[in-house]
Amino acid sequence: MTDFVEGPPYFDAARAGGYAWQDGTPWLLCRDGEARPALADPHLMKSWAEKQRRFIRWTRDAAMFNTAEVAQNYALYDSWFRADPRRQLKGRVLDIGGGWGLFREWWNADEDGCFVVHDPGVERFAVPPPETLRLQFAVGLARPAWFVEGFGEDLPYRNSSYDTVAVISALDHCALPSRVLVEAARVLRPGGRLFIVQGIDAEEGEKVPGRRFAARLLRVVSSPQRLHRVLRQRLFHRGDPHLHHFTLGKLLELVTDAGFVEANASVISPQFGVAVVEARNR
């Protein structure tokens, strides 16, 4: 691995001033207080900050990451990645809204590769995740990564520098998803790969079997851990932490509007409404 002393790979200080190493760590780069706001609209920033506060509080509740559900989600992604070697995250990877960078688990870390997590909540995610995640994602978490604080809407990286951009369960948290995707296209090399995982809503009139009331109820009572989680969610984490909700059609539209080609979508969990969208940069 290259030893970057002046910033993470492809960092372009001219693009976003006001970054500084946090406590001298060589892998955590934070915006300082004077950094220019990524999103000029104060109303939008206010709604984003409110949702983000709610979400960060949720991440601090270890009970929300119970063993059964963590293992279930892991198995879902693992079987998707393993079904085809071309699906592996390869080379220079930028994980926008990457949180703890858990998806390093499926990164093929070759010699010239790097994994950069870019997230506005990076200070929070520099603290190790709860034990259930640590155990389940032990392989990935042991792999090197740079953590950079910032918005996906305003990436401080050079044009055409990454092989892969991943946006995993994060686009619905971003203030301006379309701008995030335009930025993703800018920093990806021509032909580079965009990989999105996103919880999706049903299209109008579409019936999703796993979301019917009876199916949901059955799921909740199927395990004490799940029941406990749902009750905690109701009691302590009321309110939606997402700024946006997408149908699969809307998601594909955003991807193609940002200039990506060969967009391809698969619903990897019809029960929970989780989709993967892959596309190529022009």
Span near ligand SAM by CB under 6 A; candidates 164-172, 227-235, 250-258, 264-272: 164-172
| Distance of closest approach, residue 119 Cβ to ligand SAM, in angstroms | 5
Query: Any contact of residue 183 with ligand SAM (CB under 6 A)?
Result: no
Q: Are 99 and 125 in contact (CB under 8 A)?
A: yes
Query: Any contact of residue 175 with ligand SAM (CB under 6 A)?
Result: yes
Burial profile 90-123: b = 16 or more Cβ within 10 angstroms, e = fewer = bbbbbbbbbbbbbbbbbbebeeebbbbbbbbbbe
Span near ligand SAM by CB under 6 A; candidates 9-17, 20-28, 173-181, 212-220: 173-181
By rule CB under 6 A, what count of residues binds ligand SAM? Answer: 19
Span near ligand SAM by CB under 6 A; candidates 96-104, 141-149, 232-240, 273-281: 96-104
Nearer Cβ to ligand SAM (50/112)? 50
| Distance of closest approach, residue 182 Cβ to ligand SAM, in angstroms | 13
Q: How far is CA 60 from the centre of its chain?
A: 17
- Figure out which of the listed residues 8, 77, 113, 153 binds ligand SAM, where binding follows CB under 6 A: 153
Binning the chain into helix, strand and coil, the percentages to the nearest 5 are: 40, 25, 40
Rule CB under 6 A: which of 104-133 touch ligand SAM? 119-121
| Distance of closest approach, residue 242 Cβ to ligand SAM, in angstroms | 9
Q: How many CB atoms lie within 10 A of CB 45?
A: 16
Q: Are 243 and 174 in contact (CB under 8 A)?
A: yes
Burial class (CB in 10 A: 0-12, 13-18, 19+), 31: buried
SS3 35: coil
The H or E element containing residue 254 is helix 248-257
Nearer Cβ to ligand SAM (138/221)? 138
Q: How many CB atoms lie within 10 A of CB 72?
A: 14
Site map for ligand SAM, 129-148, x if CB under 6 A? --------------------
Place of tokens 């580079």: 192
| Distance of closest approach, residue 192 Cβ to ligand SAM, in angstroms | 18
- Figure out which of the listed residues 16, 70, 174, 274 binds ligand SAM, where binding follows CB under 6 A: 174
Nearer Cβ to ligand SAM (7/121)? 121
| Distance of closest approach, residue 98 Cβ to ligand SAM, in angstroms | 5
Distance CA 161, CA 112 (A): 12
The H or E element containing residue 59 is helix 42-59
Nearer Cβ to ligand SAM (207/238)? 238
**Phi, psi dihedral angles at 173 (to 5 degrees):** -95, -15
Site map for ligand SAM, 47-86, x if CB under 6 A? -----x----------------------------------
Residues that bind ligand SAM (CB under 6 A): 52, 96-100, 102, 119-121, 151-153, 168-170, 173-175
